[in-house]
Amino acid sequence: MSLSLLTRSSARQLVTRARSLHTTTPIRDAHGHYHVGFGSVFAVYAILTTFPQHLPFDLPTAQNKGVFGLKVTAYLLTGFSIPFAAVWWQLYVLRTFVSSLLISWL
């Protein structure tokens, strides 16, 4: 490899790095406790005593594990079935539209 080729490639890398976008890294909180800042005096207490706020259901305790299981199952089945319901609806609408066209032509 020639020296001029090596210097050109390193100069190209320097220019590319200089043009790249530089941003600061986001400050991340503990999972589920996005409302508690690092500067808060009660941050440790809040992290230890509160449940995550980003879940659509409460975390299970010893008394409500069955209810929690039903809620999670309903949540996941609903989310999984929405695309299938949308496909069925689109096919149903298409079928009724085509059948109405055929009836109007006859």
Distance of alpha carbon 102 from alpha carbon 97, whole angstroms: 9
Greatest alpha-carbon pair distance for the chain in Å reads 82
Domain ranges across the chain: 25-54, 60-106
Which residue did the predictor score with more confidence, 104 or 87? 87
Q: Which alpha helices (DSSP H) does the chain contain, by range? A: 3-19, 43-49, 65-105
Question: Would you say the pTM of this structure is higher than 0.85?
Answer: no
3-state secondary structure of 22: coil
- The predicted-structure confidence for 44-72, as pLDDT tens digits, reads as follows 555 555 555 555 656 677 788 888 889 88
Of 35, 57, 54, 61, the closest CA to residue 46 belongs to 35
What's the confidence (pLDDT) of residue 36?
46
User: Are residues 52 and 33 in contact, defined by beta-carbon separation less than 8 angstroms?
Assistant: yes
The whole-number average pLDDT for the span 19-43 is 53
Distance of alpha carbon 89 from alpha carbon 83, whole angstroms: 10
Which residue did the predictor score with more confidence, 101 or 74? 74
Distance of alpha carbon 20 from alpha carbon 86, whole angstroms: 42
What is the share, in percent, of the chain residues with pLDDT greater than 90?
Answer: 16
